[in-house]
Amino acid sequence: MQRRTLFSIVAVSGLLLAPGTMLASEPCDADINNDQQVDIGDLLGVLGDWGPCPEPPASCPADIDGTGSVNVSDMLTVLSGWGPCPETDEDQRIVAYYIEWGIYGRDYQPMDIPADKITHINYAFANISEDGRIALGDPYAAIDKYYEGDTWDQPYRGTYNQINNVLRGQYPHIKTLISVGGWTWSGRFSDIALTNESRAIFAESCVDFIRQYNFDGVDIDWEYPVCCGLSSNTYRPEDRENYTLLLQELRTQLDAAATEDDREYLLTIAAPAGYDKIENLEPDGIAESCDWINVMTYDLHGAWDLSLTNHHSKLYPNPNDPGDEDIATLYNAAASIQNYLDAGVPPNELVLGVPFYGRAWGGVGPDQGGLFQSGSLIPPGTWDDWSSGATGINDWFQIEQFIESGLYTRYWDDDSKVPWLYSPTEHGGHFISYDDEESLQHKVDFIREQGLGGAMFWEITGDRNETLLDVLQPLTRP
């Protein structure tokens, strides 16, 4: 953490800060309650937490200088930073994916989005039609569902109107992008990227779409070019080069529309983290067309492989990982980001993806708290239904409930900088890999150290208490 010298003597509660004393102070670090002001609320926070910090994973936001204790240095930092926080740096981003189906069983409506804590909303997902154009995913959710204040004769209702017009009217700093594809709807990307004509048709349809529904841009989520998505997807070896050409066409048409509309239009992608999938991209060419790249540094492991439990969103490798050497060494966030940097992508065009959910294994034995052990079943997840079956995917707010239940022990991998939970009694031995406040803080530090463009997370309905989102807040400060 950077420090600065105060060149004057400051009197606080009878204490003197002599010239040369060093205070921890990145801009607005003293805004411990994240209200964009350093004021009496932050001072009271320091006084209320005075003394040694509790053991992790309990948070200690008033320990501004990171010494492990809330003391006079933290108080003086609050006083020296008194006043409004600086303007948000537009190069720092907190990108939230909002899922269209969240309005149903999850009952997470657009007005539930904490828009004051994010910079961009990626709306997931739009589909691709048989004729190679962008298409509505769920028309009822997107443009038909009635919300309070809607009328029968407005151009469109639904979540599109709520996010792009109502929510953004209240929070004008928010930019919204329509995300196309995803795991389920990537099957036609290879076809639309194949020729000059197919690329032009798709790009033109995207421009018409965002103009019609008032989005600020397009996010392409092709999972994945060349190989490795759903078996029903179409794949071609030339997907690698064609993806770059598709993004170039999108960039050209979006820029032309931006000039006509006197408005900025954004182009981003959700990109893989695995080295074997990055090999099927041209990262430097993609970066030339995109405003930034969201790197999905999660789902690196999961219960699709019951032979070995592991961390699904580790920051660094663990030297004791007994799995395949390349996977053990390279399937982590730091290696993924380095792969893109080595390919020529500027660091500020890389946005680190983090999960607001965990991945679990069942039937796991107790050795090493379940880490690097075999499992025998996929345990239930937060939102399983008759069609999904057991998924082993638990939203963060449910993981918080597991921790509070007393049935689970939290462990910490100090090599990979991520936690895990284990219960010997639940689901025959329940192992859950996830991110929490401590691991996210390491990732925030990594983003700053590497000069990256911010953080993206999947997805916003998983953090009902906003405990993870709050950890990301310093990224929006210059």
Residue positions annotated with a catalytic role = 223
What's the rounded Cα separation, in Å, for the pair 364 and 88?
46
Copy the structure tokens of residue 200.
Answer: 């032009």
> DSSP labels for 388-421?
T----EEEHHHHHHHHHHTS-EEEEETTTTEEEE
Spatial separation of the C-alpha atoms in residues 254 and 220, rounded to whole Å: 13
Contact present, 435 and 83 (Cβ < 8 Å): no
CB 134 within 8 A of CB 206: yes
Residue with tokens 């009328």: 151
441 closest CA partner among 83, 97, 63, 49 = 63
Closest CA to 62 of 24, 27, 88: 24
Residue pair 46/75 in contact by the 8 Å Cβ criterion: yes
| Strand boundaries in 60-144, DSSP class E | 69-70, 83-84, 93-99, 120-128, 134-135
Cβ contacts of residue 96 below 8 Å, gap of 6+? Answer: 113, 118, 120, 121, 122, 456, 457, 459, 460
Nearest to 313 by CA among 458, 189, 449: 458
* Cα–chain center distance at 155: 32
**Packing angle, helices 333-342 and 437-450, rounded to 10:** 20
Nearby residues of 138 by Cβ (< 8 Å), 6 or more positions away: 100, 101
Angle between helices 72-80 and 40-48 (to 10 degrees): 180
- Residue in 404, 382, 397 with CA at minimum distance from that of residue 467: 397
Residue with tokens 């939102």: 383
**Cα torsion angle, 416, 419, 424, 430, sign:** negative
Residue labelled with tokens 């309650």: 33
36 CB-side CA count, 13 A: 8
Query: Which residue type does 370 have?
Result: G
Residue written as tokens 């009635």?
A: 146
What ranges make up the beta strands (E) of 168-315? 175-181, 217-221, 266-272, 292-296
